[in-house]
Amino acid sequence: MELHVRYEGDDDPDKCSARKLARFDLADLHRSPRATPAGIVLDPHADRALSPTDADGGAATDRLIALDCSWETAEAEAFRLDGPHRSLPFLVAANPVNYGTPFQLTTVEAFAGALCILGHRDHAETVLSKFRWGHTFLELNDEPLRRYADCTDSTDVLDVQDDYLEA
């Protein structure tokens, strides 16, 4: 699965997980929305949750697209990218800045979570291996990621998410 990043460049370049993925040729950075190819857009403002069925939607679903920007500028209009928009369900950050905070994922954590849900756990392990804390993301989220990957559709994913939010 190809990983593409619409790169805003408004965060600390030394802590930018998208730039690090690009340095290792694990993701392609795009500075303009027009240059960003169509794919499954990881969008926290999306109405539907990502589910394993999203991998069955045709050619554009062999790509994951993330927007890399500061959390302060991550407004809905910034996500105007081509492709089906999907939100990630409840996952906890493992990165040093937001450790233990739900939904405050770095770009690599968002990619890894999506890859696991779509059935590409080995690919998720590969991208996370470039970060000292990468394995911690999979350890913290092991159970929910496995449960999300076993879901049949977005509704099931939301039911699993509700189990974690109610606990």
What does the pLDDT look like over 85-118, one tens digit per residue?
Answer: 999 999 999 999 999 999 999 999 999 999 999 9
Residue 32 neighbours by CB under 8 Å, 6+ apart: none
Q: Give this prediction's pTM.
A: 0.92
pLDDT of residue 74: 57
Task: Give the separation between CA 16 and CA 86, rounded to whole angstroms.
Answer: 22
pLDDT of residue 59: 53
Closest CA to 96 of 109, 83, 87, 85: 109
Report how far Cα 35 is from the mean position of its chain's Cα atoms: 20
107 appears as a binding residue in the annotation: yes
Q: Is the pLDDT of residue 148 over 60?
A: yes
Q: Is the pLDDT of residue 136 over 90?
A: yes
Q: Is the pLDDT of residue 70 over 70?
A: no
Q: Is the pLDDT of residue 56 over 90?
A: no
pLDDT of residue 98: 93
What does the pLDDT look like over 2-54, one tens digit per residue?
Answer: 999 998 876 667 778 999 999 999 999 998 878 889 999 999 889 999 999 99
In this prediction, residues 44-71 reach a mean pLDDT of: 84
pLDDT of residue 93: 97
Task: Give the domain ranges of the chain.
Answer: 2-166
152 appears as a binding residue in the annotation: no
91 appears as a binding residue in the annotation: no
Q: Which residue has the tokens 């699993």?
A: 160
